[in-house]
Structure 1
Amino acid sequence: MNIPRLSLSVFVALGLLGAKVPAWAHGDAQHPEQVKILQEQLPSNAPGKKAVMLTVSYAPGQASPAHQHPGAVMAYVLEGAVVSKLNDEPQKTYKAGEFWYEAPGTVHSVSSNASKTAPAKLLVWSLVDEGRPVTEPLSR
């Protein structure tokens, strides 16, 4: 899928806001994928909200645990291919240059590298309530 230049420009422009790296952004036992915060900002036109742009890097065959995002998410595949399953929708594979949107509270039951031999990388932009993380584990 080709992204019109205007759409890509708008997507990138939305994330160009500032830069901070909170401690939760780095991989841990709950998030084995490599997460790198690129920018984080409190937009003046969205009081109480935090805008975050980050990358998620998956090693070959790597997957994230099931989770949800309390805020809106836009994800764009920079490299490789990623398998994603949102709520009750069918599982889908997104290749480099493709993207998707997740409404706040969407259950992301599958998020994994589609390849066992090549890495995959996402660019993610999220708008979340200030004080909330971008990703929350699912309650068991």
Structure 2
Amino acid sequence: MTDLFPKTNSVLSMLLSETPPIPAGSDVMTATIELPPGDQGTPPHRHSGPVFGYMLEGEMLFELEGEPERLIKAGEAFWEPGGDLIHYRAANNLPDAWSRFVVVMICAPGQDMMTFPDAEELAARAHLRAPRAGAH
């Protein structure tokens, strides 16, 4: 990537670069999310389009279908492709401090930004979930 701010003293630090599928007519939403200490976050869900995020402070335990849980710390960027993929966890990993992150969500035209699979669907897709530490 070349200099995006020529003729200025601005500094650009690239955190994440992806090429997501973005259908024409999509809505784009930007929000901050604040999780209290130890909060488990939103129950398993999916987004109609890609989501990009940046941890402002704290730590988040993050799990997407087919990927192992991972820890995202303040100053790190993350993304998920959306669509059929289930987002299992976005939990505050700290027992004694808040975690905050900003997200940019791209909502597919005519669809809800977030939907929740029922228990039957979660059970049917359990084989797609990566093994987790301490899971039975």
TM-score (norm 1): 0.65
Number of residue pairs the alignment of both structures matches = 104
* Aligned counterparts, 1:9-20, within 5 A: none
- Equivalent residue number for residue 57 of structure 1: 34
Distance in 1, Cα, partners of 2:47 & 2:86: 7
Is 2:12 aligned against 1:5? Answer: yes
Q: What is the CA-CA distance between 1:136 and the residue it aligns to?
A: 1.4
Segments of structure 2 that go 5 or more residues without pairing to the other structure are: 1-10, 18-22, 120-136
- Equivalent residue number for residue 16 of structure 1: none
Distance in 2, Cα, partners of 1:54 & 1:135: 14
* Aligned counterparts, 1:1-140, within 5 A: 5-7=12-14, 47-63=24-40, 64-105=42-83, 106-140=85-119
Distance in 1, Cα, partners of 2:26 & 2:89: 26
Distance in 2, Cα, partners of 1:100 & 1:65: 19
Distance in 2, Cα, partners of 1:121 & 1:89: 22
Distance in 1, Cα, partners of 2:90 & 2:62: 5
Distance in 2, Cα, partners of 1:5 & 1:118: 29
Aligned-residue Cα RMSD (Å) equals: 2.5
**TM-superposition CA deviations, 1:73-127 (whole Å, max 9, x none):** 1011111010000111110010001011101222111110000100001100011
Amino acid at match of 1:57: E
The secondary structure found in structure 1 opposite 2:14 is helix
The secondary structure found in structure 1 opposite 2:118 is coil
Structure of greater Rg: 2
Amino acid at match of 1:104: G
Q: Which has the higher strand share?
A: 1
Segments of structure 1 that go 5 or more residues without pairing to the other structure are: 11-45
Q: What is the CA-CA distance between 1:6 and the residue it aligns to?
A: 4.3
Q: Quote the sequence identity (%).
A: 28
TM-score (norm 2): 0.67
Query: Which stretch of structure 1 is more off in the superposition, 54-63 or 97-106?
Result: 97-106
Q: What is the CA-CA distance between 1:61 and the residue it aligns to?
A: 0.5
